[in-house]
Amino acid sequence: MSRSTPLIAGIFGSLAVSVFAMVLVPQAQIGGLQAQVTRDDEGKIIDVYPTDRVKYGAKVYASEGCIVCHSQQVRDTQNGEDQPRGWGERRTVARDYIYDATTFLGNSRLGPDLANVGAKTWRNEAENDPRRPAKRDAAWHYLHLYKPTAIITESNMPPYPYLFEKRRISGARSKDALPADQVNVEDGFEIVPKAEARELVAYMLSLDRSHPLKEVKSEAPSPAAAAPAAK
Amino acid sequence: MTAVAENPTQTSEKTVAPIGAAAGAGTSSAQYAIERAQIDKSTSTAVLWFFATAIAWLFGATVFGLIASLKLYFPNFLSEWAITTYGRIVPAYNLAFTYGWCSLAGMGVGIWLMARLCRVPIKAPGLLIFGAIVWNVGLTLGVWQVLLGQSTGIEGMEMPHGAMWIMFSGFLFIGLWGAALFRARKEALAFISVWYLLGAFFWFPWVFAIANLLTSLPEIRGVMPVVIASWFTQSLNIWWFTAIGLAAAYYLVPKVANRPIHSYNLASIGFWSFAFLGGLTGMLRLSGGPVPAWLVTLSIAANIMMIVPIATVTANLLLTMKGATHMVYQSPTIRFTFFGVVMFALGSVLGVFSSLRSFDKYLHFTPWLEGQQFLLLYGFFSMVIFGAIYYITPRLVGCEWLSSSLIKFHFWGAAYGGSMIVIMFLLTGISMGGRMADPESLFSQVIGSSLEYLAGRIMATFMMTLGHAIFAIHFLLMLLRIGQPGGSATVFETHEH
């Protein structure tokens, strides 16, 4: 029996070291992060970031497995070309995610990064590419979800027709109906997003992690981000 | 320790346990043979249960994998239904492959090895079978839930917690047996395989419980669930799959080559550096991500130092094989195991280099990571486990494999198909990583640069599927006791030069 004691103790020790370094210390360091609160000279709160995120859409994002192809993290310029690609103007940090219902950092990019897909400046084309849409609003996302190739002909993103339903038009066409010239639907019918698609798009449009944070030096410094980053 | 001259592929083993022969001095080889037969009889039904369900999962996972690789190339394929969408098929594939095939087969091999090496028969195999059934129920439920869209959304831990805990309670019935066998062992000094097995059966439940418990707490938020999931995935890779794979390799290589382990000191250095360094490599997947930089740096440093266990383990196994390399042409077990050991070395070294920031910067987020994961779990782990199943099953059912040609087909399907899949993943990674580094390129060009590799992967997956189908049929025949009469193992024909 005694000969096996060092073996068992060693195995236990390796687990303890691992849990300590990889789980407990990180939790102590970043587990309690709070939102960044900015006050004016009189001590009144003028800005809080981040705030609560759209929760229901995150569930759809999880359930459809968007994370399999899309990450939500922007690396700094030393670590990759995420920022020149237009996916964000600064790297993302732990504080950006504190209110995410589920944090979808992701390990794989078979599609673009979505950390800031709801931001106006987000792009997945070169700055002056004619294919860059004027705006990526809900209508753009609905069509893209229903039939990605209607927007990017060579896209290999799977279509999500089951997040939409065909409806007989009663009276006027509904506001969210997909453009009739883009989708195959017989006269008198329209294709509209189901609740899941609406929630998912609302969630995506809420994804904007471009707000300045004091711990990140912005690559293209905005006046608000000029706070001292390097102490 | 004298090696008895004999045909090492024979089922009727005359060689004594690979180590600790002195401890059993006075026991004749005939008594050993009786003891072995008793032990095999006690484990037979339970271990076959593990193998059979594992192989069923392997086949299921292969089909999921085939659908996934087809969908990547033909995105409209099966896109009408929610349950076959790419984002659900891929996690379902991962769950079926890791918890279905790898874990169940690994536990079956582990229990058999533990009983053999501790020289203790199992008294109540019914509990083991019960554990296997509960594990299968939990896993089936979990895969269903993911396909129905109830994934947790945490990468690497997609299975809903309820199903996870069912699986875990199944494991307790299995893991406790590992501990019980170790306690009751008759060998004073545990063989190196027992170290790895003891580690695996200890690490797995703790890592599993800690990770699942913490990620279900509301206090653990922000990036912390992702940190824990990364630690969890990597810990299972190292402490569960690699540990069981190495335990099997350390048993099979000396056994079939009929030589003692080359160096016990090397084995010991290998084990301890593996145990301690392996536990610190968890954050490689978060390289460049929104986590404290020291965390990733620590993991990269530990991963570089993993060169020590990789080199010692590989050298030890290869030196043990020295002089018996002709066995690769003869023994199915050794052919699979040897292939696995070579892939272990290759995959681990590749893993060390690609974790360096200057490479990772390009390869991160590309299918390179998937390729590495597949190299570890298939190229190394699964191949060694195939070898072990070819070795163990005849001892449990009392007859030998029906046909060496079927084994050969399986080997080539698995080795060629599997290698091609890995190569395609890695090439996709390189070509996508290169394109991604050019910020002027459209994202569709990034994907477009690797379409031919995606197509290649489909063909390779077909080949592998064929190999697995042959293996499944062959195993089924063994379960029905349709095979060659027991006594001399099914070997490949050798050509004298």
The tens place of each residue's pLDDT in chain A, 231 residues long, gives 457 888 999 999 999 999 999 999 999 999 999 999 999 999 999 999 998 878 899 999 999 999 999 999 999 988 888 999 999 999 999 999 999 989 999 999 999 999 999 999 999 888 888 888 888 999 999 999 999 999 888 888 999 999 999 999 888 888 899 998 888 888 889 999 999 999 999 999 999 999 999 888 765 544 444 444 433
Q: Which of A31, A84, A156 sits opposite B75 (nearest CB)?
A: A156
With vertex at residue B412, the alpha carbon angle to CA B410 and CA B413, rounded to the nearest 5 degrees, is: 65
Mean of pLDDT over chain A? 88
Is the Cβ of A221 closer than 8 Å to some Cβ of chain B? no
Q: How confident is the model at residue B493 (pLDDT cuts 50, 70, 90)?
A: low
The predicted structure's pLDDT at residue B15:
39
Q: Which of A7, A17, A162 sits opposite B276 (nearest CB)?
A: A17
Determine how many CB atoms are found less than 10 A away from the CB of residue B497: 3
User: Residue B190, SS3?
Assistant: coil
pTM for the full predicted model: 0.92
Mean of pLDDT over chain B? 89
Task: Report the largest interatomic distance among the alpha carbons of chain A, rounded to a whole angstrom.
Answer: 85
Q: What is the pLDDT averaged over residues B469-494?
A: 85
Q: Which of A27, A93, A108 sits opposite B290 (nearest CB)?
A: A93
B185: left (phi over 0), alpha (psi -120 to 50) or beta: beta
Q: Over the stretch B24-55, which tens digit does the pLDDT of each residue have?
A: 444 577 888 888 888 998 899 999 999 999 99
Residue of A nearest to B230 (CA): A22
Q: Over the stretch B391-412, which tens digit does the pLDDT of each residue have?
A: 999 999 989 999 999 999 999 9
List Cα–Cα distances, A79 to A2, B234, B341, in angstroms: 50, 22, 33
Is the Cβ of A133 closer than 8 Å to some Cβ of chain B? no
The predicted structure's pLDDT at residue B19:
42
Q: What is the pLDDT averaged over residues B107-118?
A: 93
Which residues in chain A are closer than 8 Å to B302, comparing Cβ atoms? none
Q: Which two tokens stand for residue B465?
A: 């599927």
The predicted structure's pLDDT at residue B20:
39
CA distance A39 to B236: 46
CA atoms within 13 A on the CB side of A86: 20
CA atoms within 13 A on the CB side of B122: 28
List Cα–Cα distances, A120 to A57, A135, A176, B444, in angstroms: 19, 7, 21, 21
Is the Cβ of A161 closer than 8 Å to some Cβ of chain B? yes
Interface probe for A, chosen from B83, B155, B274, B305 (most Cβ of A below 10 Å), is: B155
Task: Report percent pLDDT > 70 for chain B.
Answer: 93
Is the Cβ of B88 closer than 8 Å to some Cβ of chain A? yes
Q: Which two tokens stand for residue B251?
A: 């048993």
In DSSP terms, B485 is beta-bridged to: B399
Q: For residue B279, give the nearest of B322, B242, B326 by alpha carbon.
A: B242
Q: Over the stretch B55-76, which tens digit does the pLDDT of each residue have?
A: 999 999 999 999 999 998 898 8
Q: How confident is the model at residue B483 (pLDDT cuts 50, 70, 90)?
A: confident
Determine how many CB atoms are found less than 10 A away from the CB of residue A229: 13
Q: What does the H/E/C string look like for chain A?
A: CHHHHHHHHHHHHHHHHHHHHHHHHHHHHHCCCCCEEEECCCCCEEEEECCCCCHHHHHHHHHCCHHHCCCCCCCCCCCCCCCCCCCCCCCCCHHHHCCCCCCCCCCECCCCCCCCCCCCCCCCCCCCCCCCCCCCCHHHHHHHHHCHHHCCCCCCCCCCHHHEEEEECCCCCCCCCCCCCCCCCCCCEEEEECHHHHHHHHHHHCCCCCCCCCCCCCCCCCHHHCCCCCC
Q: Over the stretch B243-259, which tens digit does the pLDDT of each residue have?
A: 999 999 999 999 888 88
The number of residues in chain A equals 231
Residue B485 host element (H or E): strand B484-485
- CB neighbours of A96 closer than 8 A, spacing ≥ 6? A50, A115, A209, A213, B290
Q: Over the stretch B320-348, which tens digit does the pLDDT of each residue have?
A: 988 888 888 888 999 999 999 999 999 99
Q: Which of A4, A81, A161 sits opposite B79 (nearest CB)?
A: A161
Which residues in chain A are closer than 8 Å to B88, comparing Cβ atoms? 63-65
The predicted structure's pLDDT at residue B189:
67
The predicted structure's pLDDT at residue B492:
77
Q: Tell me the one-letter amino acid at B84.
A: T
CA atoms within 13 A on the CB side of B90: 23
Residues of B187-203 as b/e, b for ≥16 C-beta within 10 angstroms?
beebbbbbbbbbbbbbb
Residue of B nearest to A61 (CA): B153
Q: Which two tokens stand for residue B260?
A: 């003692």
Q: What ipTM is given for this predicted complex?
A: 0.91
Q: Which two tokens stand for residue A63?
A: 């359930």
The predicted structure's pLDDT at residue B149:
94
Q: Over the stretch B359-377, which tens digit does the pLDDT of each residue have?
A: 999 999 999 999 999 999 9
CA distance B87 to B119: 46
**Residue B58: phi, psi to the nearest 5?**
-60, -40
Q: Which two tokens stand for residue A48?
A: 């809080």
Is the Cβ of A3 closer than 8 Å to some Cβ of chain B? yes
Q: Tell me the one-letter amino acid at B339.
A: F
Closest CA of chain B from A196, distance in Å: 12
